[in-house]
Amino acid sequence: MKYIFIYTLLSVFTASNCSAQHKKAAEQIGNMQSEVDRIPSGTNTASSLHGPNSIVRTIKQDRKGNIWMASWEGVFRYDGKSFTNVTNQVSSARFFSVLEDKKGNFWFASIGSGVYYYDGKSFRNFTSKDGLASDRVTTLYEDRFGSIWFGSDNGVSRYDGKSFQNFKMKEGAVAINSDSVHVTIYQQQLSENHPMHNDVNAIVEDKSGKLWFGTRGYACIYDGKTFTVVTNKDGKPFANVRSIIKDRKDNIWLGGYDGLWRYDGRTFTNFTRNFVGYIYEDKEGNILTSSESADKKSWVLSRYAEKSLSNGYPTVTEIVNKPMIFGILEDDKRNIWFGSLDGVSAYNGKTITNFKRK
């Protein structure tokens, strides 16, 4: 196994440095009022005015403007008026991720039931019996060639439309009962064959075509032949990386146990040491994150202003605090959607609306 040693030019910004610059959002309004509250308890319709009441892990907007959310109650679609539980009659599994591929078809990742392919009319279920590395799939990604990658607790699978090819970052045992929840156990270096090295949380392709994988073990890069662990200048691997994105400038952002980091192709820069669970770039180039608060008592949805990211002193705005915050999306109307333990919410710049049934 090779190791990349990359030196950080800018100084590390601790939680205390960043918190001094945080600005609170002016208003927060809790739950959606009016008709949402009048839906009778126990209503079991295909479409309704409310969304999921439980954990929402991922939120995506498709090419038609519909918003999709993967939740522990199923995969919901919001058309701007009502929510539809698309998988209600198909599976009772917990869903973690949604992907719309280049052809306009959808893929849903679940814990325990593998992956569901949906063409808008019918479903097809892929499991380990079909070649998947595991039936516990948490993340989905489509590369430049149109192949679909599935991140699981037992490595990654690549699907070319005909068959699966499986990869492991490290040879080792299969993780048991892992579901990529927030765990802070990384106080010492993990053994080479630790199963967490193969528990994949995030996948992204960089501008050179190399794939970055964030795992509950260490982040690594795959060049088509070799998996290379990514380390900082001290030789320390990036542990428990939960989110990786490529921004409009081709920078790679990593979020996880070691905080929020940006890689510009030469150096890594750290923006916070607080645990970061999700990263998202909005249409203006601002970076949105869900992260642990400085006192570790809650999670914060924060915005890092794009114009301040290059000067070493980022302007950070806190939008909301919740017990836990997962996926983030900016829709085509500039509303910020985010998932939490109690469903999905949207922030319009002034108020926050939660769409669960009260």
Residue 234 has a pLDDT of 76
pTM for this model (two decimals): 0.84
DSSP 307: G
When pLDDT is cut at 50, 70 and 90, the band that residue 5 belongs to is very low
Instruction: Please state which architecture CATH assigns to domain 3-354.
Output: 7 Propeller (2.130)
Return the closest-CA partner of residue 228 out of 170, 284, 172: 170
Residue 192 has a pLDDT of 79
Q: Which of 25-34, 180-189, 310-319 has the highest mean pLDDT?
A: 310-319
Residue 174 has a pLDDT of 65
Note the pLDDT tens digit of each residue in 22-75: 444 333 333 333 223 222 233 334 578 889 999 999 999 999 999 999 999 999
Residue 167 has a pLDDT of 97
CA distance linking residue 95 with residue 97, whole number of Å: 6
Return the closest-CA partner of residue 104 out of 142, 78, 73: 142
Residue 346 has a pLDDT of 97
Note the pLDDT tens digit of each residue in 134-183: 999 999 999 999 999 999 999 999 999 999 999 999 876 666 555 444 34
Residue 177 has a pLDDT of 55
The torsion angle over the Cα atoms of residues 33, 35, 40 and 43, rounded to 10 degrees, is: -110
Half-sphere exposure of 22 (CA within 13 A, CB side): 20
Q: What is the rounded average pLDDT for all residues in the chain?
A: 85
Please state which of the ranges 103-107, 212-216, 229-233 shows the lowest mean pLDDT: 229-233
Tell me if 281 sits within 8 A of 289, measured CB to CB.
Answer: no
Domain ranges in the chain?
A: 3-354
Stretch 109-134: mean pLDDT: 97
Q: DSSP assignment of 262-279, as one string? A: EE-SS-EEEEE-S-EEEE
CA distance linking residue 259 with residue 278, whole number of Å: 11
Kindly tell me if the per-residue pLDDT of 215 is higher than 60: yes
Indicate the helix (H) or strand (E) that contains 17: helix 15-19
Residue 61 has a pLDDT of 98
Residue 46 has a pLDDT of 58
Tell me if 205 sits within 8 A of 156, measured CB to CB.
Answer: no
CA distance linking residue 108 with residue 139, whole number of Å: 9
Stretch 183-199: mean pLDDT: 70
Kindly tell me if the per-residue pLDDT of 235 is higher than 50: yes
